[in-house]
Structure 1
């Protein structure tokens, strides 16, 4: 089992490392650079070349049943769900075979709405302490479940 972090713009890297360390799980932090390396022997920093979706492709090629992937990238999440990995968003929301289709459709709809109205910009709500807490709880449960299943 491994924990994969889509690290570009990930607000929960430190929390994920704490949980992975507590459980003795290998963690891959994947980005195209700009991150401070961890001294933790369980954490492997993976720097991919700068390019569209290269970090996503690296994770998608390796994720398999028993792994946990943390990402806010919905297309990457869909690939990892299809591969059988457990997928969590940064706010702790689980992405599963049952809900990934709706999440992808909503993402596409919102993208189309933004493209149709150039004044409709801005992101969602700010990342909160409650989001961080939900993430920690969801990651703890996901790793425990993966360890007992494997």
Structure 2
């Protein structure tokens, strides 16, 4: 299993958790973004820069990932594509995207987008809170521990 990170919009505190986890558990992890960013030096961490453009990083992740991989993203359409390819997604707030829930998440996202397109104020996502960091770290640890037991 590899971890892929949709890194452009991923909060710095979440990337730091991912770095520590990848190095501690020896999991190959690749950040994909269209701008350079800091990463610690580790044989388990890699960076792929893609050109600017809509969904370039998302498309790169879907193309390169394999069934069983974990993708960190807040982008629900990307999470749906990951799940369709046999992977699992996790957003920076710790919600797992699986075959059981990703279609419902995508439907809700599309519904809210339609509302916004008609001029309805939906308020957008809540601000990222310190508790979100803990929820993400705990969910990531639970998921990886479960995967280790299955292997």
TM-score, scaled relative to structure 1: 0.92
Given that 2:112 and 2:122 are in contact with CA atoms closer than 8 Å, whether structure 1 keeps it comes out as no
2:50 to 48, 51, 54: 48
Superposed counterparts of 1:6-17, under 5 Å: 6-11=6-11, 12-17=14-19
Kindly provide the CA deviation profile for residues 22-49 of structure 1, in whole angstroms up to 9, marking residues without a partner as x: 1000110000014224322211011001
Superposed counterparts of 1:1-150, under 5 Å: 1-11=1-11, 12-117=14-119, 120=121, 122-150=123-151
Deviation of 1:141 after TM superposition, in Å, equals 1.7
Given that 2:79 and 2:88 are in contact with CA atoms closer than 8 Å, whether structure 1 keeps it comes out as no
Deviation of 1:140 after TM superposition, in Å, equals 1.1
Which 5+ residue runs of structure 2 have no aligned equivalent? Answer: none
RMSD (Å) for aligned C-alpha atoms: 1.5
Matched position secondary structure for 2:80: helix
Given that 1:66 and 1:149 are in contact with CA atoms closer than 8 Å, whether structure 2 keeps it comes out as no
TM-score, scaled relative to structure 2: 0.91
Given that 2:115 and 2:122 are in contact with CA atoms closer than 8 Å, whether structure 1 keeps it comes out as no
Deviation of 1:82 after TM superposition, in Å, equals 1.2
